[in-house]
Structure 1
Amino acid sequence: MTRRAILHIGRHKTGTTGLQLFLESRGAELEKAGFCYPRSGRDLSPGQSREDQCAHHGLARSLMGPRDIVRQRLMALRPAFLDEVRNAHTVILSSEGFQNVAHLDLLAEFLDGFEIETICYLREYLAYVTSSYAQEIKGSGLATDFTFFEERFGLGLPGFMMIWGQVARRCKWRLYDRARLIEGNVIADFVATAGLPLQPPQNASESNLTISGNLLGFKLLLNMLGLHMREFGAPMNDLAMAHARFRGPIHVDLPTQQRMRGGNSCNRTLRDLFGEVPEVDFEAGNRIFDLTSLERDMQTILPKFAEFDRVASHPLIAALARGQIGVFDHVR
């Protein structure tokens, strides 16, 4: 019997975290049906969040670097992996980090004996870039403006699809559009596309909200001041969940939208695959550093960060806490 390896390879900001949490939570059900969502290849070290531990980011990171070192890492990992999946007819591996690996042939060697299939969710270009920008500001110390970020985004979708087509026997490309996803969410869509014996949740919630508005501006300010900490994720998610003005699309003016969409082949490729692709008008999005609501928003945001001494004690943040909003003129 041919054994399958289903690789969920992203892309970023397509509901990946929620899907990975779901698959990790249903491991026992999968095992009973001959499937395996293995622990091998997942970074289970204590310093990792549950969201990071439930994905195969460790395996994806092992594929980065010089070729000889990558091969050594995979050889070291393979015995434990094979032992864990020995009774499974289908193995499921999920990490959006797979989209960035350079040595796909070594990944194929690691999965020798398995028929590789990929499932990947693709987004409309500007929706993808804006969400990725907000995620980078939120999850890292990135401190740059959106235009600079987009110029260096480097999405070459045709090349990406071509290299995966050389590794996988079957590539399933899905458009991340709720109107086209099965039951309107990525978990139900993945379960059906992969043929998993699972009942998806009735109300799938977003596990990694896209932040925007003055919350995104505040985190960008923290990054500019060198104050990024991974622990900021929880208070940002809480704020975005509680206040609509802190989540969702960011503002991009219409001429910039047209220039960015016209300068990349992504949407043309998507139309070839899926037909009409909806394009959101981002002029209605939340502005970063919106001075009309900044004072009110700081009163909401700052208490959530008061427990972080490095933030609360910084002179600029302290000035904002005192209502001295004029200091923002220096960072616009």
Structure 2
Amino acid sequence: MGRRLILHVGDCKTGSTILQTMLARGDCAPEGLRLFTPGNGNHGGLPLSLGANKATYPARWNGIARRLSEAEWDVAVVSSELFEYSKPERVAEAVNQHFAPLADQISVIAYVRPHVGRLLSQCAESLKLGHETGTLESFVERFLASGRLDFANRLAGWRAAFGDAFHVRPFLRDRLKQGDVRHDFLDFALDGAPYRLTDSGQDDNAALPVPDLALMRMLQARFADKPLDNRVAFGKQFGRLLRELPPTVPAEPLRLPRALYDAIYPQARSDAERLDAEWVAAPCFLADLEAARDRTIDQPQSLRAEDHHGPETLRLMTAWAELLLRQMDDEPKAFGKRLRGADRA
């Protein structure tokens, strides 16, 4: 196998955090190959420099290009799920300009989570990070209007920009190598070469159950006028703490009401049929959409904190939130580092 640069472009909610953590920690030891990823494994600054943070372009790309040129490697990985929100043709332009010596060695990969799973996981993540403080119904309406469930059209844009170098993998356990996105990605990136994978406690970014999401929604609503970076830092760290402290009573995950399923079904079905026909060897997206009907519920779940937590719990959480509010105007890097703690700095 010749030298190979892997550009991992998402999607969101397809195990990107797990992959980036694995790469940053050096958990994978290929046999006879040098695997390299610049920095901490998460290169979100690259897509942001093409959109929300244009002032950081081209510095972000130049920095990654410099690291790639200075390191010794056989396989290198540049990864960010935020590329999902980039224009593929703009990414291709930046790649050709800044990674020109590697242009014929680039493979681009995207994982795609089926429609209902993506909706639910993205809503839960948005509630956790403070991007969303409304209802599942209002989130779904905006998600559909934004075209985020039009997977096939978006993927066609990546194929137009990168041709046969662009690859798609369905994010379904039974379609992933060993049922694990890490093994699936490594098999692709290393082109089947053998490797050893050390599981050193990968970050778990699984969705929180509904009572925790309701609490997050309440807290993030109180922080709504504070810097977005600080709200996101809070959501990530508080969400991690909640996952590490399992609920004392069984709690359900966020589920799609039947009425919402019926509302998205026609558009999702058309898209799933295209995905199966154009992107995967064995159909799976339509089957997953049909199976999701059996997992729907009759009535929407409440995301009101008072419907899941007693008055005394809410009193204590409100007092804690007011205390934290006094710190949320701090500079985002300092605030985030303080929340992460020394062991995660």
1:171 aligns with 2:157: no
CA contact (8 A) 2:14 2:112 kept: yes
Are the aligned partners of 2:257 and 2:299 in contact in 1 as well (CA < 8 Å)? no
Decide which structure has greater helix share. 2
Name the structure 2 match of 1:73. Answer: 59
* CA drift at 1:108: 2.3
Residues 305 and 311, structure 1, Cα contact 8 Å, conserved in 2: no
Does 2:207 match 1:210?
yes
Partner of residue 115, structure 2? 125
User: Against the structure 1 CA distance between its residues 283 and 84, is the aligned structure 2 distance closer, same or farther, given a 3 Å change threshold?
Assistant: farther
Q: In the alignment, what sits opposite 1:151?
A: 141
Q: Which one of 167, 183, 186 corresponds to residue 181 of structure 2?
A: 186
Alignment correspondent of 1:4: 4
CA distance in 1, matches of 2:306, 2:132: 25
Match runs of 1:252-291 below 5 Å: 252-264=256-268, 265-272=270-277, 273=280, 274-276=282-284, 277-278=287-288, 279-280=291-292, 281-283=295-297, 287-289=301-303
Once the two structures are superposed, residues 39-65 of structure 1 have per-residue CA deviations (whole angstroms, 9 ceiling, x without a partner) of 2xxxxxxxxxxxxx4311122222226
DSSP 3-state at the match of 2:11: coil
Match of 1:97 among 72, 77, 82: 82
TM-score (normalised: structure 1): 0.75
> What are the residue-to-residue correspondences of 1:46-85 with 2, within 5 Å?
53-64=40-51, 72-73=58-59, 76-77=62-63, 80-85=66-71
Q: CA deviation at 1:176?
A: 1.2
The residue type paired with residue 114 of structure 2 is: E
User: d(CA) in 1 for partners of 2:315 and 2:258?
Assistant: 32
Q: Distance in 2 between matches of 1:133 and 1:252?
A: 11
Q: Provide the rounded CA distance (Å) in 1 between the counterparts of 2:140 and 2:153.
A: 18
The superposition leaves residues 61-120 of structure 1 with CA deviations (integer Å, 9 ceiling, x where unpaired) of: 2222698x67633564365234334x3232211110112123123232122122221222
1:243 paired with 2:247, answer yes
Residue identity opposite 1:150 in structure 2: V
Output the TM-score relative to the length of structure 2.
Answer: 0.72
Contact 1:216–1:288 (Cα < 8 Å) also in 2:
no
In structure 2, what residue type is equivalent to 1:24?
A
**Structure 1 residues 28 and 125, CA gap change in structure 2 (3 angstroms):** closer
Matched position secondary structure for 1:7: strand
Which ranges in structure 1 are unaligned for 5 or more consecutive residues? 40-52, 314-332
**CA positional deviation for 1:128:** 0.1
Q: For 2:242 and 2:315, how far apart are their aligned partners in 1?
A: 11
Where 1:172 maps in the other structure, the secondary structure is strand
Residue 43 of structure 1: aligned partner: none
- Quick check: 132-141 or 192-201, which moved more? 192-201
Query: Partners in 2 of 1:27 and 1:201 — Cα distance?
Result: 5
Percent of aligned pairs with the same amino acid: 20
Alpha-carbon distance in 2 for matches of 1:159, 1:236:
33
Q: Which residue of 2 aligns with 1:323?
A: none
Query: Does the CA contact (< 8 Å) of 1:254 and 1:282 recur in 2?
Result: yes
Matched to 1:92, the amino acid is V
How far has the Cα of 1:132 moved from its partner? Answer: 0.6
1:25 alignment counterpart: 25
- Listed one character per residue, the Cα deviations across residues 285-329 of structure 1 (whole Å, up to 9, x for unaligned) are 993337896235974x8767865444699xxxxxxxxxxxxxxxx
Question: In structure 1, the residue corresponding to 2:107 is in which secondary structure?
Answer: strand
SS at match of 1:263: helix
Distance 1:35 1:20, change over 3 A: same
Provide the rounded CA distance (Å) in 1 between the counterparts of 2:299 and 2:249: 9
Structure 2: runs of 5+ lacking an equivalent: 327-345
Task: Give the conservation status (yes or no) of the 8 Å contact 2:22–2:202.
Answer: no
Deviations 1:147-177 (A, max 9, x none): 2222222222122211221333422211111
Instruction: Tell me the secondary structure at the aligned position of residue 207 of structure 2.
Output: coil
What's the counterpart of residue 113 of structure 1? 101
8 Å CA contact 1:56–1:95 kept in 2: the answer is yes
Conserved in 2, the CA contact under 8 Å of 1:158 and 1:269? yes
CA shift at 1:144, angstroms? Answer: 2.4
Corresponding residue for residue 198 of structure 1? 195
Question: What is the alpha-carbon distance in structure 1 between the residues aligned to residue 273 and residue 217 of structure 2?
Answer: 32
Q: Specify the alignment match of 1:326 in structure 2.
A: none
Flag the 1:191–1:76 CA change in 2: closer, same or farther, 3 A.
closer
Q: Indicate the SS of the match to 1:144.
A: coil
Are the counterparts in 2 of residues 138 and 219 from structure 1 also a CA contact under 8 Å? Answer: yes
SS in 2 for 1:107: helix
What is the distance in 1 between the residues matched to 2:317 and 2:76?
41
In structure 1, C-alpha distance between the alignment counterparts of 2:319 and 2:53, rounded to whole Å: 43
